[in-house]
Structure 1
Amino acid sequence: MEPTASKEPGPVRERRACLTEAYTCLRRGSCPSQRAHDVASAIFVGVCGGVSSGDRESCPPENHSEPTVELSCISMSLLEKISSALMSGSLPPAATLYHAEVLTGLQDMDLMLQLILHFQSNDQIISHLAAKSVSTCVFYQLHTSSTVCPVWQQKCVQAFYSSTPSPALDNCLWSITDVFKRLLQGGHQENIAKLLAAFDSSLMAICSKFLPEERSEALLCLDDVSRSRRWGTTLCLLLELLELLTASSVIYAADVCLQSQRITYTHSSALLTIIGGSSHYFVKKRALLLLKRAVLQKSGEDWALGEGLYIGPKDKHLLADMSTLAKSMLTAVATNWLQRVQVESSSFFGGTRHVRGKEGKADCVMLRALGLLLLKSLELYIQTPRGAAGVNSAFEVCGYLQSVWGFLRQGSLLRTEVTHCCCWLSLLFGEQDDDMMEAAKALFSIFLHHRLCSGLDDCSMLKAACVFGCNPHCHFLLLLQSISFDHSILLDFLISTETCFLEYFVRYLKYLRADWQGFTAACGKTSLLDRHLSLQQSPTALCGGDVLKVTNRDQDPYRSNACFQHTGAISSAAGFHLVEYDSSDESDTEEMEVSQGAPVASVSEKSRFSALDMKLQKLSDLTGILIEPNTTPHRRAEGPQVPVFLSEQTSCPNMAPVSGHVTCDTLASVVLCMSQLREVVKRLHTKKLFPYNPSSLLRLLEQL
């Protein structure tokens, strides 16, 4: 640095020294030796120094020296640090007064106009630092005087109305997004209303340009986006701003309700056109995630906006807007929109790996977003008058489910073959608890709707539910198997606010009381799958695209006849266990089966039989079902037999006979897990350590 400093003119060296001292004192919380006016002047000249020759007419002639780009960067960084420090209140009183005087001097010098000139700079570092400085100063002015900076507002409104992709438009979008984010994170409700009112019409104008409602215009916009990366960057910045606007409509819906807050819903058709069009992949992904968070009412969750404030729809337009989004989604699916959606290889830290043939790994973020968006749209649709009643409505909903399962099967998206559609839930959402619970809740609502409207009997209904992948018993059992029937994990779900597990769990337990027979049938199906198939890889391989290796544990005639068998692999929930059951002393289904010619069981084997006897006895005590656990399926003729839950009287047509021993083992594991969960919840509630009143939940668990 020394040789460079020696070549600089005297005024430049003085300004550099002044700025360096001011920055050092700001970090220490002290006042520099120079006057506040001198520091303000050094910052102003440094900012003007980075202005291109064509824009220097508005800059005073005495400031047309040759300061370096580095000096400009230091000046803007110092300005941003001063504004942030004053906002945080971290400075001592004397330093606070001093630096507030510096900002007042800069406002008198009309610094904002000079900063905005940098918005159109081709130097990305300069333009970004200018946008950061502007947004911080605008936020500071809103906080101190509750007014929107007129120079900044005029520049942004002009850029939005012109809607011409350029560095200036990008920086305007970035700066207003940053100001909005700061306001939402700080809960500045009045200032949010002022900011929205200042930009409402101009935001509608730019969205009409980039997200036209007419399909033909949307396709023309897509052509521009696909030809120019500048358009793609601008559109991504606009989508980020839309997410913040959508978040504000949920958080402050009762006080602020403007057209710009509803753009995500009202222009959802255009967003779906972008997702299914020829635009850049990062644009499609950003648009899809925006729609997913909008339909879940979780916009802004990546920035921790409105944490704990999503207590339900308050805006009078929100229900209608959600219905509009659901209608747009279902209309798109009905027109083969899914066939146009492109899911590329998954990304990793170094970028995106492009490989040949079927070795590519599907982008599970896209797949989960697509699946959840469609499921939530169906859940919203069945709440409308048209979708609430009628056999046609029930089969229409099932047709949409078949569309999404067919989309997941096509090509090499997940590289596994699934014949039991209920497994798609855990296969697709198994790595994301919050999404899995939302999907399970949506599928449960769809199941209840189909059960109400289809007119089928219980047996036929459960069979149809498995065909369409919405049998709630299968989903619940696969969930329990994925956590190895560990009640402590369910307890974590009940306490956590990150998922909707409590709502889903209570609704399912209420339904379980009325359909215990269907539950035992599902226990037989999942037991059969778990008995014959095992995964050799972790669940991450499912969405990673690697071929899952499946091995037979024994050659059983039931496997070839099972109604819901897997020909290639099963979901992570059905086959992956946190505990290896082969080494577990509590639940070894496979090692408990003995052929007729087998030798006498060893001590360890006898202990396993004793463990099973205890589980079955406990199941008998809890349920009142007579269970005699002292036999195995292969030795039924030699003594008392275990009752077969899935007999011809209780099972659906075409369902293979399932060992009652296996069924009881699964059923015992479920009831034991629920009993343990009830006991620990009851104990915590007695000690007043449970975060809410679980009395209703305990009553439901006791009925098991």
Structure 2
Amino acid sequence: MERTASSGDRPTMRERFDRLTDAYRCFLTGSCPSQRAADVAGLILSGVCGLVPEDRARSLAEHCHGSSVELTCLSLTLVERITSRLTSRSLSPAVTLYCVEMLAVLFQDLDLMSHLIHQFQTEDQIISHLAAKTVSTCVFYQLHQSGAISPVWQQKCVRVFYSSPSGPELDACLWSLTEVLKRLLKGAHQDILGELLAALDSSLCALCSKFLPEERKEGAQCLVDVTSSRRWATTWCLLLDLLEVLTASSLTCAAGVCLKSQRITHTRSSALLTTVSGSSRYFVKKRALLLLKRALLQKAGEDWALGGSTGLRYKRFHSDMNMLAQSVLTAVTADWLQSVQVESASYFGGTRRVRGQEGQKPDCVMLRSVSLLLLKSVELHIQTAGATAGVDSATEVYGYLQSLWGFLRRCGVQLTEVTHRCCWVGLLFGDQDDDMMEAAKALFSIFLHHRRCSGLDDLAVSEAACASGCNPHCHFLLLLQSISFDHSILLDFLISTETCFLEYFVRYLKYLRADWRGFAAACGRIGSPDGRLSPAASAGGDALKATYEGEPDQVEVSSCVRPTGVIPPAVTTRPAAGFHLVEYDSSDQSDPENMEVSQEEPGPSVCEKSRFSALDVKQELSGPPVPIGHRQYEPSASELNSALERRREGERASSCPTASGQLTCETLARAVICMSELREVVTRLQTKKLFPYNPSSLLKLLAQVQNCS
């Protein structure tokens, strides 16, 4: 098939542009172009290659270059759009046959893939990125068609990763590979994913050894070299994106085998920590820190990995997680926190400026990430070491917490009028439910470890826990207080797979039934006038200034939520008091036969095993969705009578002789009523087979706690 033409017969730049534009419009409207498929393929190739007519005058060179860039961009976009539509099977049969014929000419006769990849090295960033995007789509299309990986693209990535030159070529290869791996993960193409990673494993390890050397001093010098320019900083972020994809792919290894490249985030965690403290670019620091946090929480790729984790873990998973945790603790011991930079909070319009003496708010994403990274590392360390280390281990663990307090104090936003250090969890994590529950769960593990190792009685342990901000009773009561003791919001947490609340709640209830006295004492601390803020202060606002009083080494902890002494509700996930996501009185009209019920026992893996979202259950309970602002909880008459009777009992129980005692008993009574109401609604949902998992163990624990009161 002859594709060349004489110079006189060659169409002008404008003619080619107009013809491609007409073809593009036809594809958008779902019709076939009037031109032959082979002719459109030839136009696309000339656009991708950027051919400029030879008879152009030198005086029009600049105009020709602009037209050439436009033609190239149009050609790349057209190929990307066609292959995407073919992969998604969204074209009509006639248009599909036309496009398949055209792509056959492009890939088989004209070797389009080689020409696309050649555009990776162009200095024009728009063309380079469009080429990478188009190549990724074409590679995935060919995988769908034949199950084979493009050898030209694969060889290009291997060569560039081994040589790792700076420039657009490396950036395009990193972006393209990341995009292909994401698509494979979303589509659960495990065999092809494993084959591709095996082919690129050595080259990826070689690339990361340059960016993430093992030796700390060598790594610091490397960071100075490779982050000094804006281009290298961009390459760094692309590499970190790829590392997250590789880490996410390790969580889907069904065969239990994991390649070296999939473990780089864990095995090179020390170098990543050096990146956080040593990079000259703040967004590189932040991106590296978020990668470490997600790896430690086993949430890498949670924003786009629709397939999710298989629940299986590769053979060296636990040792890799321990390696990551130990790298964090070793760095903290070596004063890593002192070198972590936290800038002012930034928004879409830039850094927000505040009035008066309020001062700049710190970047809470960084604060939460650093705090959670340290807390989860300590939790893993505790689980690995067990309870054999004794008092020295408990002292070491609390030493890490003191390092965290020092870091937060250094960040500069002050807390005033808060005398209870356990409030810091809600103040820092209050607008991120998932991180808040992870932090509460980690602090609960730290508390239990100290309780086992310290040899102190329960009262002394509770006092020490409050001094370090990790008393689980206080955390739970502050959570209840922040949601106005509303059991329906707890139900939202229980049926959601977005947080680890179920695991945390079950563990806490087991402890609560054994330490009711400690719970009552915590009610006294939370309910006492000097242990909470006034209702007016809890109502809202966005300035936060508070100080811990009565301590020789005052600790000032930063936050950028609202000035409350309790955990503020997250606006995006928790409704305000009086508004609920579920109308429980309408559950009688729900059809239980349409709801599949999992029989898994509640436990640490329920959030992974359950495929029900909160919305599934809510729609079964309340019918068609209604805007939250127009929906209120309207209990039935029997529920009202039951609740009123329980509240009368609570009021009688709270008739204490002193004002302080009355507040204590009131807090205790409200907490008990909240858990009692939660038990009732879960029981009713279980009876109607509307609960997404078997809640028998949870109901048993709630009943035992209720009996303790």
- 1:633 is matched with 658
Aligned pairs (5 A) from 1:460-471: 460-471=460-471
What RMSD in Å do the two structures reach over aligned CA positions? 3.2
1:447 and 1:169, CA in 2 relative to 1: closer, same or farther beyond 3 A?
same
Instruction: Give how far 1:84 is off.
Output: 0.5
Amino acid at match of 1:633: T
- 2:236 is matched with 235
1:539 and 1:235, CA in 2 relative to 1: closer, same or farther beyond 3 A?
farther
Amino acid at match of 2:179: D
Amino acid at match of 1:380: L
Instruction: Give how far 1:339 is off.
Output: 0.7
Amino acid at match of 2:338: Q
1:199 and 1:51, CA in 2 relative to 1: closer, same or farther beyond 3 A?
farther
Q: Deviations over 1:312-346 (max 9, x none)?
A: x5211110100000000000000111011010001
- 1:690 is matched with 691
Of residues 318-327 and 463-472 in structure 1, the stretch that sits farther from structure 2 once superposed is 463-472
Aligned pairs (5 A) from 1:211-226: 211-226=212-227
- 1:572 is matched with 564
Instruction: Give how far 1:32 is off.
Output: 1.9
Instruction: Give how far 1:165 is off.
Output: 1.7
Distance 1:561 1:685 in 2: 49
Distance 2:490 2:354 in 1: 39
Distance 1:122 1:194 in 2: 32
Give identity over the alignment, percent: 62
Instruction: Give how far 1:613 is off.
Output: 10
Amino acid at match of 2:117: I
Amino acid at match of 1:348: Y
2:414–2:544: 8 Å Cα contact kept in structure 1? no
Structure number with greater CO (CA < 8 Å, separation at least 6) is 2
Instruction: Provide the secondary structure at the position in 1 that maps to 2:528.
Output: helix
- 1:412 is matched with 412
- 1:98 is matched with 98
2:444–2:471: 8 Å Cα contact kept in structure 1? yes
Distance 1:417 1:239 in 2: 41
- 2:649 is matched with 618
- 1:390 is matched with 390
Amino acid at match of 2:661: G
Distance 1:12 1:241 in 2: 38
- 1:473 is matched with 473
Instruction: Give how far 1:691 is off.
Output: 1.3
Figure out how many residues of one structure are paired with residues of the other and give that number: 614
2:412–2:556: 8 Å Cα contact kept in structure 1? no
Distance 1:438 1:157 in 2: 39
- 2:504 is matched with 504
Amino acid at match of 1:421: R
- 1:166 is matched with 167
- 2:487 is matched with 487
Instruction: Provide the secondary structure at the position in 2 that maps to 1:382.
Output: helix
Instruction: Give how far 1:521 is off.
Output: 0.4
Instruction: Provide the secondary structure at the position in 1 that maps to 2:466.
Output: helix
1:423–1:571: 8 Å Cα contact kept in structure 2? no
- 1:317 is matched with 316
1:360 and 1:135, CA in 2 relative to 1: closer, same or farther beyond 3 A?
same
Q: Deviations over 1:393-443 (max 9, x none)?
A: 111111111111221122414555755321111111111001011111111
Amino acid at match of 2:345: S
1:50 and 1:170, CA in 2 relative to 1: closer, same or farther beyond 3 A?
farther
2:427–2:567: 8 Å Cα contact kept in structure 1? no
Aligned pairs (5 A) from 1:567-606: 572=564, 574=566
Instruction: Give how far 1:310 is off.
Output: 5.5
TM-score by length of 1: 0.81
Amino acid at match of 1:161: Y
TM-score by length of 2: 0.81
Instruction: Give how far 1:549 is off.
Output: 8.1
1:535–1:576: 8 Å Cα contact kept in structure 2? no
- 1:182 is matched with 183
Distance 2:491 2:120 in 1: 52
Distance 1:66 1:630 in 2: 83
Distance 1:219 1:632 in 2: 64
Amino acid at match of 1:347: S
- 1:145 is matched with 146
- 2:262 is matched with 261
Q: Deviations over 1:459-491 (max 9, x none)?
A: 111111112221110110011011110111001
Distance 2:320 2:656 in 1: 60
Amino acid at match of 2:41: A
- 1:352 is matched with 351
2:537–2:563: 8 Å Cα contact kept in structure 1? no
1:161–1:206: 8 Å Cα contact kept in structure 2? yes
Distance 1:126 1:499 in 2: 41
Distance 2:191 2:551 in 1: 63
Unaligned runs of 5+ in 1: 1-7, 54-63, 551-558, 581-610, 621-626, 635-658
- 1:605 is matched with none
Instruction: Give how far 1:541 is off.
Output: 5.8
1:119–1:127: 8 Å Cα contact kept in structure 2? yes
- 1:88 is matched with 88
Instruction: Provide the secondary structure at the position in 2 that maps to 1:423.
Output: helix
1:349 and 1:465, CA in 2 relative to 1: closer, same or farther beyond 3 A?
same
1:244 and 1:43, CA in 2 relative to 1: closer, same or farther beyond 3 A?
same
Of residues 689-698 and 477-486 in structure 1, the stretch that sits farther from structure 2 once superposed is 689-698
Instruction: Provide the secondary structure at the position in 2 that maps to 1:251.
Output: coil
Amino acid at match of 1:316: K
Instruction: Provide the secondary structure at the position in 2 that maps to 1:682.
Output: helix
Distance 1:27 1:660 in 2: 72
Distance 1:388 1:279 in 2: 42
Distance 1:376 1:579 in 2: 32
- 1:49 is matched with 50
Q: Which has the larger radius of gyration?
A: 1
Distance 2:196 2:52 in 1: 28
* Displacement over 4 Å in runs of 4+: 50-53, 64-67, 353-358, 414-419, 529-532, 535-542, 559-563, 565-571, 575-580, 611-617, 627-632
Of residues 417-426 and 32-41 in structure 1, the stretch that sits farther from structure 2 once superposed is 417-426
Amino acid at match of 1:247: A
Unaligned runs of 5+ in 2: 1-8, 55-63, 570-575, 579-641
Distance 1:237 1:676 in 2: 49
Amino acid at match of 2:317: L
1:48–1:72: 8 Å Cα contact kept in structure 2? yes
Distance 1:493 1:44 in 2: 54
2:122–2:128: 8 Å Cα contact kept in structure 1? yes
Instruction: Give how far 1:530 is off.
Output: 7.0
Distance 1:265 1:68 in 2: 45
1:536–1:548: 8 Å Cα contact kept in structure 2? no
Distance 2:502 2:177 in 1: 38
Amino acid at match of 1:394: A
1:116 and 1:517, CA in 2 relative to 1: closer, same or farther beyond 3 A?
same
Instruction: Give how far 1:575 is off.
Output: 7.6
1:11 and 1:438, CA in 2 relative to 1: closer, same or farther beyond 3 A?
same
- 2:137 is matched with 136
